[in-house]
Amino acid sequence: MDDFPIGAIVAYAGPLPSGLENAGWMPCDGRALSFDNKAYGPIRAVIESSYGSDSTSFYLPYLAGYFLRGVDASAKIDSDANARGAPSKHPVAGATGAVPGSVQDDGVGPHRHSIRFFPNTRTANDHGDGAGCIIQRDGLGNTNKTEPTGGSETRPQNMAVYFLIKYKQLNDGSTFVPGMVIDYSATVTGDPTVSQGWMPCDGRALDQRDTATNYALLHDAIMEVYGATANGYFCVPDYRGMFLRGVDGGRRLDPDAAARTAPRPDLPNHGAAGDTVGSKQDFLLGAHTHPYIWQNENHCLRVNGRKEYMWQTVAGYTSGDAGDCAEVRPKNIAVNRLICWNPKLSTFQVPKGAVIAFAGPLTAMKDPAWSPCDGSSSAIPDYRGWFLRGADASRAVGTSQPDDLTKHAHGYFFTSGQLRQSDTSGVQIVVDGLSSQLTDIPGPGDTRPKNAAVHFLIKTL
């Protein structure tokens, strides 16, 4: 009988049902599990204290508000992998570095903007009653910052799911729950997985009253979270082009959770909105600024035969644009996504090519049917360091995308700097020509949302 390994993490597309624990699953809600409870021995052996522990308990992953990212021990894709932080504030805070359980804050990846200085022409009249004007470079530099641009966090477009973790083995088929979602590394053509109890997450409308198909099982799991048609058909989630994010549930890792929108505004029943499963969220570029160093300009006035030194403050400039993408996104690889609609079929099975997350080290994964997604053969994808994104009509399964950000600019202004003495006298008019330079490059190694590290596994047997 098919099963998922203990420590497996899958998405769940509906409101959390009762009876999950009886099916061998728990929500990834950071709950404490007692060291003394033997029923938790198998999951403890997998995750140990990766997600935190204290003197009496160890903790499950707490994935509310997070995206999932593949562990990258080489730091080739996740260049900041070794700087990843611990997931909790418990006495033992949990894993750090390039291992499962570690977390990473969102960030705007390296980029820079051009900035320009001073009007084209300076004349004596620019300086009021002065009889002469000298403008000269003094070779010194002041460090300033541009005005910030961006919102409350950096994130790609996403839909909210619950993440579940497998904590015990059943091996009787009851472990599979309608509404659970797996990634799929193969191309879905002609719905070959439907007869196996899975279907593509493509937004299709289904009739729960059709007794021949028994779609009622899936309807009971996800209801009208993803919208419903005028004739009462309910919709499966449409994850094409989407990233998945854990329902925040008031944790406030998703600062805009309350403003999340319904997924199907094109239907009479739009679906769920707000801080709940099924809701949708657009991409956002997080607030950031750029330091820059510019060469000071000194202004020397001669008033009534006496040298006077002044500094002119110039404000209201806008930098050149950076970013040329129509969206904000992390590095990602395209996958299909399948939802479990009927685990009671006699032909039910988890298809080869199914991809799940794994919460522990690979040494704790004992099921030979699953292999690490490490590119070790041509049949196994390499998801180390990557985020997974639903494939759509514009992208084939297995293709990768670099991280990128939307076009944006920053305001900036000048403030006074260090002046130096000049013995030059008389009137001098300088044409500056709007000289240009680049800001410094701030930010972490890549553009990314808040994320937790996992191993990705693929079913090969």
Give the integer Cα–Cα distance in Å for 74 and 359: 19
- Say what the pTM is: 0.88
Mean pLDDT of 213-228: 96
Radius of gyration of the chain (CA): 28
More confident residue, 210 or 1: 210
Token pair recorded at residue 213: 């198909």
Nearest to 199 by CA among 331, 351, 47, 75: 351
For the chain, the structural domain boundaries read 1-108+155-284+330-401+447-461, 114-151+286-325+405-438
Question: What is the chain's mean pLDDT, rounded?
Answer: 85
Cα–Cα distance, 277 to 274 (Å, whole number): 9
pLDDT value, residue 424: 41
DSSP string, 36-66: T-GGGHHHHHHHTTTT-B-SSEEE--B-TT-
pLDDT-based confidence at residue 436 (cuts at 50, 70, 90): low
Bridge pairing between strands 436-438 and 291-303: unpaired
**Which pair of structure tokens corresponds to residue 269?**
């029943």
Tell which wins on pLDDT, 123 or 194. Answer: 194
Residue 11 CB burial class (10 angstroms; 0-12, 13-18, ≥19): buried
Per-residue pLDDT, 273 = 98
C-alpha span between 333 and 386 (Å, rounded) = 7
Measured distance between the N- and C-terminal CA atoms of the chain, rounded to whole angstroms: 12
Q: Which residues pair with 390 in a beta bridge?
A: 335
Confirm if 59 and 50 have CB atoms less than 8 A apart: no
- pLDDT class of 313 with cuts at 50, 70, 90: very low
- Per the CB < 8 A criterion, the answer to whether 229 and 244 are in contact is no
The encoded tokens of residue 61 equal 């992953």
Task: Name the least confident of 44-53, 112-121, 259-268.
Answer: 112-121
Residue 457 near residue 352, CB atoms below 8 Å: no
Q: Return the structure tokens found at 199.
A: 């279907």
Cα distance between residue 56 and residue 13, in whole Å: 33
Which of 5-19, 85-99, 136-150, 417-431 shows the lowest mean pLDDT across its residues? 417-431
Q: How far apart are CA 397 and CA 399, in angstroms?
A: 6
- pLDDT(444) > 70: yes
The pLDDT value recorded for residue 432 is: 37
CA distance 150 to 410: 10
Provide φ and ψ at 269, rounded to 5°.
Answer: -100, 110
